Structure 1
Amino acid sequence: MDTLFFAHRGSSHKYSENTRAAYLQAIDEGADGIECDVHLSKDGLVVCHHDPTVDRTSDSTGLVAEYTLAELKAMDFTGVVPSVLPAGYGAENEQLLSLDELFELIEAHGKSVGLAIEIKHPSPYGHLLEKTVLQVLAAHGFDPQTGTAGSRGQISVTLMSFEPNSLRYLARTVNTSLLCQLMTEIHPERVQQLIDSGDLVRAGVYEVLYRSVAEGIELINAGGAGIIGCGVAWTRANEHLVRRWLEQGLKARVWTIDRPADAQFLVGLGVGELTSNRPAELRKELEQG
C-alpha cells in the first residue's frame, strides 16, 4: 500500500504509550513511522510524554516540568496498558525515554522510519522547548530542509503542534513542508468549565486545542504548514476543506485511526498517512479488505 502507518505514541495498544516497549513494538511490527510527544523536564531535557502531568500515566503525580529526567525515570509508566515486558524491551524503570534516547533506540535497530514529534503546549518554558528540540535534532544530523536525520539519513523527521505559534517559531529555520498543524474541535464552554473547576493545567491545554482550528486553518492557508494533522471526526465534518487542501498538494496525517471503516474512508479521500494505536493490525485489515 502507498498509505503510511504511524504508531500513535508507539504501538500503544500493546504497551503503555510513549514507552520504550511501545516504540520497540512499533519498529518490530514494521510501522512506517513513530509519533511521540515531548515536554521539557526540570533539568531542561526533552522528555517523551503526552500529558503535562504524570498523574494518568505513572505511579506518581505532578507536572513533568517539575521533575528531572532521573526523577521521571524512577517512576513506573507501564500501568496504562498493563502487560509483561518482553526480554529486550527494557525493565520497568527503563520505559520513559528522552528524545535523545529515542533517536538512539531507532539508530540501534537500523531501520528507515519516520519520526513525528508533537511539541506540547502550553509549556512553562515557552519556546525554549522548540529550541531544545532543535538542538537534539541537530545532534542527530537533522537537515531542516529535507527532514532527514540519523547516521545514514534513515530517519525522516516532521514536527507537529496544536499551537500555531510553535510552528511559526519552527518555520524560522525548518522547511514548512516538515511542519504539521494539528487540529481538533473543542467547544469554548469546555475551557471555561475547566477554569471554573480550578483545573488550570487542563484549561491551558484545552485553550490551545480550541485556538488550533481557526488559527490553524489560517496558518495552513498562508503556507505555514505543509501537513494537515486533523482528527478523524474533524476530517469527516470538514471533508470539503480537507479535499481542497489535498488538491493543493498538501499532505494529510489523520489521527487516531483504529477502525478499518475510518481508514478506508480516509484512504478514499486521498489521505496518505494514518496515525494508529495498532498500525500493524490496521494495515493488515486494509490489505485483506
Structure 2
Amino acid sequence: MTSYLIRISKQLNISYISSPDIGFLRGLKEPFASTKTSLVFRFLDQDGYEPSTKKSYGFLLSNLTYIKTFASAILVPKVYVWPVDETSYLLPHTNLVADAHRNELQVFAYGFANDKINVHNYSYNPITEYLSFIDNGNFSVDGVVSDFPLTSSAARECFAHLRHSASVQAMPKPLVISNCGASGIYPGCTDLAYKKAISDGTDAIDCPVHMSKDGVPFCSSSVDLMANTFVYQTEFRKFASVINEIQSNTGIFSFSLNWSDIQALTPALSNPYGQLGLFGNPKYSKSGKIVSLSEFLDIAKNASSVSRVLIKMENARYLAENQGMSIVNSVLVALRDSHIQFLRSDERIMIQSTSSAVLKAMKGKGFELVYEVHEAIEVIDSEVIEDIKCFAHSVVLNKDSVFFNSNGFLRSWTHVVDYFHAFLIPVYIQGFRNEYVSIPYDFYYDPVVEINSYVRLARVEGLITAFPQTAVDYRNNRCLTLDKKVKYMEAKIPGELVSLVPDELRPALPEAFPNLTEGEVLEPALPPVVSNASLHHSPPPQVAATSTSALLPRQLTAFLSCLYIVLSL
C-alpha cells in the first residue's frame, strides 16, 4: 500500500491519507514530506488497540503531542467531541478540539449520516447536528466525514451562524404554521409545545378545537383522548367506546369528560415512528399542560412574533346532533371574549376544517377560511375548485397530493397545487416532520431538502410542521438569496432517482389516488343543536329533517352556496 500511494501521488494530488495504524503513517511521513498531502491519524473506539503500539486509542488520545510527530490531523468518532449518555442526550462537550488545536492538529469528525441521527438534542434534523460541531460558540472542528455531503456542505455554507445573528432577514414566504405547536418536541397542544413553536419563530400557532362534556372548547390533536394522553390508565377508561361517525376503533372521546377532568390528564408525546425505534423527546414526553381555546388565544396575544392563529374544527355535525353542542358558536364566543385582533393585512385568524358546512357557517366574519382536503388526491376538476372557492380562501393538502410517493421513491409531480393557483387559491401543505423515515429517498433523508422542493418546485404558500424551527431556519438560510446554481437549493425532480433503480428492483406504481368530487366537497348546512333533554329520547321520525340543499342537484347547490356567501357579506 505504501508503494502504491507513492506511485499514484506522482500522477494526481492526494489531499489526505488517513489510517488507524501509526506504523503505516510513519512510513509515509518522509515520502510525502515535500507534498501538500496531510497524514491523518484515525481514532477508532477508545477501547480498541492500535496495531503498532499496542496501546488503546483512548490512551493515545491523551498524548496528542506524540500524534503530532507523524500526523497533521486526527479523525475521530463524533462522540469523542460530543459524548452521548445512555438515554441518547448529549453530555457536555470534551476539550478534544481545543487540545488538538493547541498541538497544531486539525480535527475531523466522522460518523455523520442523515439516517442515523439518534441524539434527541438534534430533533432528527441533520443540519442541527452539523451546527453543533461547527457553530456552537466555543469551538469548531476543521471538517466532517459524511454519508450525505450535500447536507454537511449546506450546514456550513447556508445555515452556520444564522440562529445567533440579529441581522438575519427572513424571507416572507413560505408561511410557517405549527402542527399542534412544536409537537415533535413536546406533547402536542400543550403550553410547552406552543411556547416552543413561538420561540422557534413560527408565524402561526394552531389549535385543533374539541369540546369537553361541559362545553369547554380546548386544544387537542384528536377528539380521541387515547391518542394523545394517558387517559386509558385512569378511571375514565370506563368511557371507552366506538363511535362510527367519528372513527372505527375504540376511543375515549373528549365530550365524555368534563374540562376539569381533561385538565388533570397527563399529555403524551406523539411518536408516529416509535415502532421503528425513533422516539421524540423522552425527557419531556409527559410534560406540559393541556390548554383551553381561551388559554391558547392568550398565549397567541402575548407572542409578538406570531402574526396568525389557526383554529381547526371537526365533528361539528355530530356534536350538534348527538351532544347538544355547537363547536362553531363556542369558537366564536372564545374569539369574542379574548379580544384578539390583528392590525396588519397579513395578520389574521384562520379557520380550518374538512367540512364545507363549518366554513360556510364562519363566512363573512373576517376570517381566512381554509379548506382541508384530508385524503391524498392526484387530480382535481375545475368545477370542484370553483365549488371550494365559494366557501374557502385557501386550502390545506397532504404532502402526497403534491409529490407521488411510491415505497420511498418519488414517481411524479401531481400539479394539484398549480390547479388551485390557477384559481388564485393559496395552498398550505401539512405533514412535515424531521424523522428521516418520513422523508423520501429523493430528498436524502434531509427535511430541509424536502421543504425546499415543495417551495421551489410546487411554490406552496405555507408549511404545516411539527418541527417549526426546521422550516424557519430554511426560510432564513442565506443560500436562498444566492445564485440559483447553489446545488443545495435546487429542487429535486420526482422520478430522477427511481430511474436509476434496475427494472427488476424498481417498486411498482401503486393505484392512482381518487379525484376529489363535488359530492365530497359540498355538504348540507349544519343542523340546529339538539337540546340536551331531547338527547335522552328517540325523536319521532318527522323530526329528523333533511336540509333542503341536500335534495337539490349539485350544480344548483353550488350556486346557492355561493349566493349565500354573497348575501352574508
**TM-score if structure 2 supplies the norm length?**
0.40
SS in 1 for 2:227: coil
- The residue correspondences of 1:257-276 to structure 2 (distance < 5 A) are 257-258=432-433, 259-268=447-456, 269-276=458-465
Match of 1:119 in 2: 313
What are the superposed Cα offsets for residues 182-222 of structure 1, whole Å, 9 maximum, x if unpaired? 013279xxxxxxxxxxxxxxxxxxxxxxxxx99x9456544
1:12 pairs with 2:183: yes
> One-letter code of the match for 2:463?
L
Taking the aligned partners of 1:248 and 1:154, their CA distance within structure 2 comes to: 20
Match of 2:205 in 1: 34
Contact 2:389 2:425 in 1 (8 A): no
Query: Structure 1 residues 178, 153: CA separation in 2 closer, same or farther (over 3 Å shift)?
Result: closer
- The residue correspondences of 1:146-165 to structure 2 (distance < 5 A) are 149=341, 156-165=348-357
Match of 1:137 in 2: 335
Match of 1:174 in 2: 365
Contact 2:354 2:372 in 1 (8 A): yes
Match of 2:83 in 1: none
Q: Alignment partner for residue 295 of structure 2, among 97, 101, 115?
A: 101
Q: Answer 1 or 2: higher relative contact order, Cα 8 Å, separation at least 6.
A: 1
Q: Alignment partner for residue 232 of structure 1, among 399, 405, 409?
A: 399
Contact 1:73 1:96 in 2 (8 A): yes
What are the superposed Cα offsets for residues 29-50 of structure 1, whole Å, 9 maximum, x if unpaired? 1111112211111111111012
Query: Structure 1 residues 123, 40: CA separation in 2 closer, same or farther (over 3 Å shift)?
Result: farther
Contact 1:65 1:124 in 2 (8 A): no
Taking the aligned partners of 1:264 and 1:51, their CA distance within structure 2 comes to: 29
Q: Alignment partner for residue 256 of structure 2, among 66, 69, 78?
A: 66
Taking the aligned partners of 1:79 and 1:12, their CA distance within structure 2 comes to: 7
SS in 1 for 2:428: strand
Size of the alignment, in residue pairs?
249
Mark the runs of 5 or more structure 2 residues left unpaired by the alignment. Answer: 1-170, 233-251, 271-279, 405-412, 434-446, 480-488, 490-569
Contact 2:187 2:268 in 1 (8 A): yes
Taking the aligned partners of 1:233 and 1:163, their CA distance within structure 2 comes to: 21
Taking the aligned partners of 1:245 and 1:60, their CA distance within structure 2 comes to: 41
**TM-score if structure 1 supplies the norm length?**
0.76
Query: Structure 1 residues 76, 134: CA separation in 2 closer, same or farther (over 3 Å shift)?
Result: same
Taking the aligned partners of 1:242 and 1:11, their CA distance within structure 2 comes to: 26
Larger Rg: 2
SS in 1 for 2:255: helix
> One-letter code of the match for 1:158?
M
- The residue correspondences of 1:191-270 to structure 2 (distance < 5 A) are 217=384, 220-237=387-404, 239-258=414-433, 259-268=447-456, 269-270=458-459
Contact 2:205 2:300 in 1 (8 A): no
Taking the aligned partners of 2:217 and 2:415, their CA distance within structure 1 comes to: 37
SS in 2 for 1:39: strand
Query: Structure 1 residues 122, 103: CA separation in 2 closer, same or farther (over 3 Å shift)?
Result: closer
Query: How big is the alpha-carbon RMSD for the aligned residues of Structure 1 and Structure 2?
Result: 3.0
Contact 2:403 2:414 in 1 (8 A): yes
> One-letter code of the match for 2:297?
F
Contact 2:395 2:426 in 1 (8 A): yes
> One-letter code of the match for 1:54?
L
Taking the aligned partners of 2:182 and 2:210, their CA distance within structure 1 comes to: 20
Query: Structure 1 residues 283, 186: CA separation in 2 closer, same or farther (over 3 Å shift)?
Result: closer
Contact 2:177 2:462 in 1 (8 A): yes
Indicate the percent of aligned positions where both proteins have the same amino acid. 16
